[in-house]
Amino acid sequence: MTAADDVFGRSPGASTDDVARLAGVGIATVFRHFATKTELLEAVLTLRLERIRDRALELAASDDPGTAFFEFFTQVVSESASKLAIAEALTAAGAAAGEEAREAGRGMREAFSGLLTAAQKAGAVRDDAEMPEVYALLIGASRGATAAKLDPETRDRMLALIYDGLKPRR
């Protein structure tokens, strides 16, 4: 799974042969665990979404909800290129995300919503910023940073502008 995450995260057009080679196993071993490339891609996408969800849940235990919220937002945008590459590879294979990936995505959104609510209660995020628009900002920033191939400095300046808009008005 680690090899598949790495291979497909770098190149949506990668093959299962590339995964097997990086994992140091034969292609038959890959197909013994995943009957098709699509199944492997779905498993990788699900794992990636579960990791993001778990990170949000971990940060939810923080003593500083504002920092936790903005740290999570930054992490998601910073790692978006490889996650989007995996989703694109799944689409290119002619499939949509399966139920497990959709469930992992719902869990990630719920955990993000919890981070947002906690940050708002702590006064770090505006009270009038609701989940639908804040989630849209997360998705838009992730896709925009990936599509524009932003370098880290430009990405961080973009995020600073978004964060300024999310902070309570004085």
- Per-block average pLDDT, block size 10, for the chain (170 residues)? 79 80 86 84 86 94 96 93 71 69 88 97 97 96 90 96 94
Q: What is the pLDDT of residue 94?
A: 65
Q: Which two tokens stand for residue 104?
A: 């992992």
CA dihedral 79, 85, 91, 96 (to 10 degrees): -20
Mean pLDDT for the chain overall: 88
Predicted model pTM: 0.84
Q: Residue 14 half-sphere exposure, CB side, CA atoms within 13 Å?
A: 23
Distance, CA of 150 to CA of 68 (rounded, Å): 23
pLDDT digits (tens, 9 = 90+) for 150-168: 899 999 999 999 999 999 9
**What fold is seen in the domain 38-166?**
Tetracycline Repressor; domain 2 (1.10.357)
- Beta-carbon contacts of 125 under 8 Å, excluding residues fewer than 6 positions away, are 66, 69, 116, 119, 134, 166, 167, 168
